[in-house]
Amino acid sequence: MTDVSALVAQMQETLATIHTTLASLDTAAQDAKLDELEKKRDDAVQALSTAFLAESEALDQKRRAEREEIAERRRKEDEERELRRREEDAMLEARDRVEDEDRDGKLKNETEEIEHETDSLMSQAEEDARVALAEGYEKLRVLQERRRVSVAFPFGLTLTNRALTTTA
């Protein structure tokens, strides 16, 4: 029986070794470690994705702000250009107005000068005409006097108070 009891003891020992070996072959610890590594990987990928999204949003915001700054700068440049154009137009209009006023003043002065000269010439012409008319009336008066003193003769002879003349 010793053999059987030794066999039973050996069998119990073998069963205990099998049980220990089976217990050491338990994958729960390795599964837990794998699960932990997988979770770390998923967390790292999630953190990377979150950081990438945040960076993308920040970059989009930066680009949008840059475009808004450019649009604002362009708008201000357009306003300044339009203001310069309006100021230039106003300056041109003022210059044109001054030129027109100068030309109008020159026209008025020249017109007044011409009218003054013409009035002076007309007065002189009127005076000359009056003198010529007066001289003509005087001549007519003298001729009228002569005619009264003249006596008519036949054959075209005329007697005046000075001498006998022929009128042929």
Instruction: Write out residues in the chain with pLDDT < 70, as ranges.
Output: 1-2, 26, 149-168
pLDDT at 122: 93
pLDDT at 164: 47
At residue 166, φ and ψ (nearest 5 deg) are -100, 145
Q: What is the side-by-side strand order in the sheet with 151-152?
A: 151-152, 157-159, 164-166
Q: Identify each DSSP E strand in 102-148 by its residue range.
A: none
pLDDT tens by residue, 93-102: 999 999 999 9
pLDDT tens by residue, 35-73: 899 999 999 999 999 999 999 999 999 999 999 999 999
> What is this structure's pTM?
0.42
Task: Please list the helix, strand and coil fractions of the chain in percent, rounded to the nearest 5, in that order.
Answer: 90, 5, 5
- Rg (alpha carbons) of the chain, rounded to whole number: 69
pLDDT at 168: 47
pLDDT at 22: 76
Report the greatest alpha carbon distance in the chain.
222
pLDDT at 61: 97
As given in the structure block, the two tokens for residue 31 are: 């599964």
Our measurement of the distance from residue 164's CA atom to the centroid of its chain's CA atoms, rounded to an integer in Å, reads 99
